[in-house]
Amino acid sequence: MQPFVHFEVYNTWTRILRADPWILSVMDIEARYPTEIARAKERGFRPPEENSDPKGKWDGYIRLLKQPRNDGPYFPTGLLPLMQHVCEKMHYRVFVDEKRERTQEGVPEFPAIPLRDYQEAAVEAGVSVGRGVFDLPPRAGKTRLACELHRRLALKTLWVAPTDRIVQQTAGVIEGFFGKHYVVHLVGGSAEAQAGAMHKNIIVCTAATVSLLTDELLQTREMLVVDEWHHGAAKTYQRLFKSCDHIFFRFGMTGTFFRSGDDELAMRGLLSNTIYKVSSEELLRRGYLVPTRVLFVPVPAHPKVRGAGQKFNGGFGKAGIHEHKARNQLVTYAASQLARIGRKVLVLVGTKRQGREVRSMLEMFIPSDPRAEFRAVEFLSTDTPRSVQNRILESYLQNQEVKVLIGTSLLGEGVDLPEVDALVYARGEKAEVTLTQSAYRVCTAVPGKRDAIIVDFADRHHRKLLAHSLERLDVYYKEPTFFVQVVDDLHNLTAWLDSAAPQSQQRSA
């Protein structure tokens, strides 16, 4: 008789009620991923304590199939399609016992929010399916889409975003559709704030704040929305889903439904199905994104990365990128030239120290009005008070005294800067998610904006930095929104900026 596996499916976890040891071992192999410890051990590394007592030591793999001694095996429900595929591939019959109960939808109180056709199709699919990920490029209007999804389902919602900056921005959008008292932005876990949030239709907060919320408050929520879903592999999101085990309607939103590391399986363990997907090529063709020209400029530096006094031990990223004087001078020159030709310039840096250094050099090219509240070149980081951040952004976006904005990852993801049409990507690194999210900051189409420019850097002064540069270049080439040109030397930069036609859409090798 053909063997079979019995799955009992709940909102967060799926239990395995019947499976033989062999198929469990196969599922365990498919539902695990390596950490750096595992990779080091594969290269032959052994911690000293393991040389004398190798038994019972961790092999460095994160296992998502749990097999406790006193209970049956189980795994995150997002991996159910993977586990079914594994069983069927091994010629096991699969019986799925669906225990999830769809919450009864409410009655919409507000008129429909105007949507683009793809947003409308995404909302309809979301209502039908009830859980999954909206995979739409950055700047595709995912927040608006989720607001209409909430309106149609009319269920009390917990809306989670990775940073307080994105939370603030999201709360503002929701207020615009539903009114000021419809939503509450929670910061921290004070009893008074939670009591006030109990009857709000939408609670918006970070994943860190969710961990401080009481079970009583969480039990009032009937729908979960997680923005920037590519962060879903983090432990804070694992705890979030565990705390919201009672919620049937679960939606993730991202423009990069993948992870740069090995932990993508952890993200998909929470939500793995794509509800609706739109390509950046389609948005570009229809005019929702602008063509963006990417210029790769070589860094004039010595072949090897060295630290001051030969005592440097902080890694090639610190010495070769963030604190490399010649490279930061090139960043400064690129930003000043973009500002000179009338571009609204954003500079993304990797560290606070790099941001302060670039700002100091840029101020020599772009002087400030001593009577103004802010400088012509401002640097935003987590050290900047929240209220000051808002005023600086307002000055920058409204073409007031702030002409060039420098930021850390605080501005690299989820923050709406639609008028920006020039990015100097100074942070280096190779993470595809971070780069894609950052690059699309300048791609939004708004009236009067025909194109955008990104300046990135070819780091050839260290083999690791060169490899990272090539990986970033490959990311740009894969995205149809970007049109890439690699110049021979620094002298080409000014001429290229002056002569490149704004409407050019020809991809250069």
> Do 272 and 289 fall within a single domain?
no
Instruction: Specify if 148 maps to a domain.
Output: yes
> Do 182 and 292 fall within a single domain?
no
508 pLDDT band, cuts 50/70/90, is very low
What is the pLDDT at residue 51?
54
How many Cα atoms occupy the beta-carbon half-sphere of 325 within 13 Å? 4
Mean pLDDT of 402-408: 92
> Do 84 and 9 fall within a single domain?
yes
What burial class does residue 322 get, using C-beta atoms within 10 Å of its C-beta: 0-12 exposed, 13-18 middle, 19+ buried? Answer: buried
Tell me how crowded residue 113 is: count the other CB atoms within 10 A of its CB.
Answer: 19
Of 266, 14, 271, 29, give the one whose Cα is nearest residue 5. 14
Is 451:411 a contact under the CB 8 Å cutoff? no
Query: In angstroms, rounded to a whole number, what is the distance separating the alpha carbons of residues 158 and 221?
Result: 6
> Do 94 and 185 fall within a single domain?
no
Query: In angstroms, rounded to a whole number, what is the distance separating the alpha carbons of residues 119 and 368?
Result: 43
What is the pLDDT at residue 263?
87
pLDDT over 80 (residue 251): yes
Q: What's the chain's average pLDDT?
A: 88
Instruction: Specify if 94 maps to a domain.
Output: yes
Instruction: Specify if 507 maps to a domain.
Output: no
Tell me how crowded residue 367 is: count the other CB atoms within 10 A of its CB.
Answer: 11
Mean pLDDT of 413-420: 78
Q: Which of 252, 278, 304 represents a domain boundary (last residue)?
A: 278
Q: Which letter does DSSP use for residue 362 in this model?
A: H
Number of separate domains in the chain: 3
Mean pLDDT of 7-23: 96
What the block records as the tokens of 480 is 């149809």
Instruction: Specify if 184 maps to a domain.
Output: yes
Of 143, 199, 141, give the one whose Cα is nearest residue 167. 143
What is the pLDDT at residue 219?
95
More confident residue, 397 or 226: 226
Of 98, 94, 99, 200, give the one whose Cα is nearest residue 157. 200
Lowest mean pLDDT among 2-11, 387-396, 487-496: 487-496
Tell me how crowded residue 337 is: count the other CB atoms within 10 A of its CB.
Answer: 20
87 pLDDT band, cuts 50/70/90, is very high
More confident residue, 293 or 416: 293
> Do 156 and 262 fall within a single domain?
yes
Percent of the chain with pLDDT over 90: 60
Instruction: Specify if 290 maps to a domain.
Output: yes
Instruction: Specify if 316 maps to a domain.
Output: yes
What is the pLDDT at residue 477?
92
> Do 338 and 266 fall within a single domain?
no
pLDDT over 90 (residue 434): no
503 pLDDT band, cuts 50/70/90, is very low
> Do 312 and 226 fall within a single domain?
no
> Do 301 and 431 fall within a single domain?
yes
> Do 89 and 134 fall within a single domain?
no
What is the pLDDT at residue 314?
47
> Do 457 and 346 fall within a single domain?
yes
pLDDT over 50 (residue 385): yes
Query: In angstroms, rounded to a whole number, what is the distance separating the alpha carbons of residues 161 and 224?
Result: 11
What CATH number is associated with residue 41?
3.30.780.20
What is the pLDDT at residue 305?
55
Q: Which letter does DSSP use for residue 63 in this model?
A: E
pLDDT over 50 (residue 261): yes
> Do 239 and 356 fall within a single domain?
no
Q: Taking the model in full, what pTM does it have?
A: 0.83
What is the pLDDT at residue 178?
96
Query: Sign (positive/negative) of CA torsion 44, 48, 54, 57?
Result: negative
Of 99, 145, 165, 419, give the one whose Cα is nearest residue 276. 145
pLDDT tens for 167-213 read 988 999 999 999 989 999 998 888 889 988 999 999 999 999 998 99
The DSSP line for 2-32 is --EEEEEE-SSEEEEEE--HHHHHHHHHHTE
What CATH number is associated with residue 492?
3.40.50.300
pLDDT over 80 (residue 265): yes
Q: Which of 236, 253, 278 represents a domain boundary (last residue)?
A: 278
| Largest pairwise CA distance in the chain | 86
What is the pLDDT at residue 390?
85
Q: Which of 259, 278, 297 represents a domain boundary (last residue)?
A: 278
The position carrying tokens 């190798």 is 54
Is 211:65 a contact under the CB 8 Å cutoff? no
Taking CA atoms, 465 is separated from 160, 262, 304, in Å, by 35, 21, 10
Is 299:325 a contact under the CB 8 Å cutoff? no
The position carrying tokens 């999804």 is 149
Instruction: Specify if 508 maps to a domain.
Output: no
- The CA-to-CA distance between both ends of the chain, in Å, stands at 59
More confident residue, 387 or 278: 278
Mean pLDDT of 133-152: 93
Bridge partners, 159 (sequence order):
204, 225
Query: In angstroms, rounded to a whole number, what is the distance separating the alpha carbons of residues 186 and 167?
Result: 9
| Range(s) of the domain holding residue 229 | 117-278
336 pLDDT band, cuts 50/70/90, is very high
Instruction: Specify if 171 maps to a domain.
Output: yes
> Do 354 and 395 fall within a single domain?
yes
Tell me how crowded residue 88 is: count the other CB atoms within 10 A of its CB.
Answer: 12
